[in-house]
Amino acid sequence: MGQRIGVDIGGSFTDFAILDEETKTLRALKVFSRPDKPGAEIAAGIELAGTRYGIRPDEVSYFTHGTTVGVNTVIQRKGIKLALFTTENFSDVLELGRLKLPAMFDLLSRRPAPLVTRDMVWGLSERLNSDGTQMRPLDPESVETATRAALAAGAEGIVIALLHSYRNPVHEREAKHLVKRFAPGVPVFTSAEVWPIIREFERTTTAVIGGYVQPRIAHYLGSLQRALKDMGVPAEARLTKSNGGVMSAEQGKTDCVQMILSGTASGVIGASFVAKICGLHECMSLDIGGTSADVALIVDGEPQYGMGEHIGDHQIHVPSISVTSIGEGGGSVAWVDEFGVLKIGPESAGSTPGPACYGRGGTRPTITDAFAVCGIIGQADLGYNAVKVDVEAARRAVATLTEKTGQSVEETAEAIINVAVSGMYAKITGLVTRFGVDPRTTAMMPFGGAGPMMGCLLAEEMGMPETVIPTTPGVLAALGGLVADLKNDFIRTIYVDLTAEALAGIQSGFAELRASAERWLREDQRYDGEGSLTYSADMRYRGQSYEIETIVDADAVLSGHLAALEDAFHQAHEKVYGHAQRDARVQIVNLRLVVAGRQPLPQLPRIEVGTGAPSPLRMINCWISGRWVPVSLYTRGELRAGQAFNGPAVIAQDDTTTFVPEHHRVFVDPYGHLRITKENIDVADQND
DSSP 183-222: STTS-EEEHHHH---SSHHHHHHHHHHHHHHHHHHHHHHH
Give CA–CA dist 346/369, Å, rounded: 16
Single-letter residue type at 415: A
pLDDT exceeds cutoff 70 at 685: no
Query: pLDDT, tens digit, for every residue of 69-104?
Result: 888 788 778 899 999 999 999 999 999 888 776 666
pLDDT at residue number 31: 85
pLDDT at residue number 383: 55
pLDDT at residue number 686: 41
pLDDT exceeds cutoff 70 at 595: yes
pLDDT band at 385 (very low <50, low <70, confident <90, very high): low
pLDDT exceeds cutoff 50 at 571: yes
pTM of the model: 0.84
pLDDT exceeds cutoff 70 at 41: yes
DSSP code of 523?
A: I
- List Cβ neighbours of 432 (8 Å cut-off, separation of 6 or more): 439, 442, 462
Strands 292-299 and 302-303, bridge-based pairing: antiparallel
pLDDT at residue number 652: 92
Give CA–CA dist 299/322, Å, rounded: 12
Q: What is the mean pLDDT of the chain?
A: 89
pLDDT at residue number 687: 40
pLDDT at residue number 330: 85
Percent residues over pLDDT 70 in the chain: 95
pLDDT exceeds cutoff 70 at 12: no
Give CA–CA dist 43/460, Å, rounded: 40
pLDDT band at 681 (very low <50, low <70, confident <90, very high): very low
Choose among 397, 400, 457, 394: nearest CA to 424: 457
Percent residues over pLDDT 90 in the chain: 56
Choose among 174, 180, 84, 80: nearest CA to 126: 174
pLDDT at residue number 15: 86
CA 94 → CA 85, 114, 115, 546, 598, distances in Å?
12, 6, 9, 20, 39
Task: Answer whether CATH 3.40.720.10 is correct for domain 3-73+217-259.
Answer: no
Choose among 501, 515, 516, 518: nearest CA to 560: 501
pLDDT at residue number 381: 66
Q: In terms of pLDDT, which residue wins out, 353 or 364?
A: 364
pLDDT exceeds cutoff 70 at 280: yes
pLDDT exceeds cutoff 90 at 42: no
Start and end residues for every CATH 3.30.420.40 domain found in the chain = 3-73+217-259
Q: In terms of pLDDT, which residue wins out, 125 or 236?
A: 125
pLDDT exceeds cutoff 50 at 683: no
- Helices and strands: H and E segment counts in the chain: 18, 35
pLDDT at residue number 396: 95
Query: pLDDT, tens digit, for every residue of 214-261?
Result: 998 998 888 888 889 988 999 989 999 888 888 888 988 988 888 888
pLDDT band at 174 (very low <50, low <70, confident <90, very high): very high
pLDDT band at 609 (very low <50, low <70, confident <90, very high): very high
Q: How many CA atoms lie within 13 A of 332 on its CB side?
A: 26
Q: In terms of pLDDT, which residue wins out, 12 or 441?
A: 441
Report the top-level CATH class of 486-597: alpha beta
Query: pLDDT, tens digit, for every residue of 473-506?
Result: 888 888 898 888 889 999 999 999 999 999 999 9
Start and end residues for every CATH 3.30.1490 domain found in the chain = 486-597
Q: In terms of pLDDT, which residue wins out, 379 or 402?
A: 402
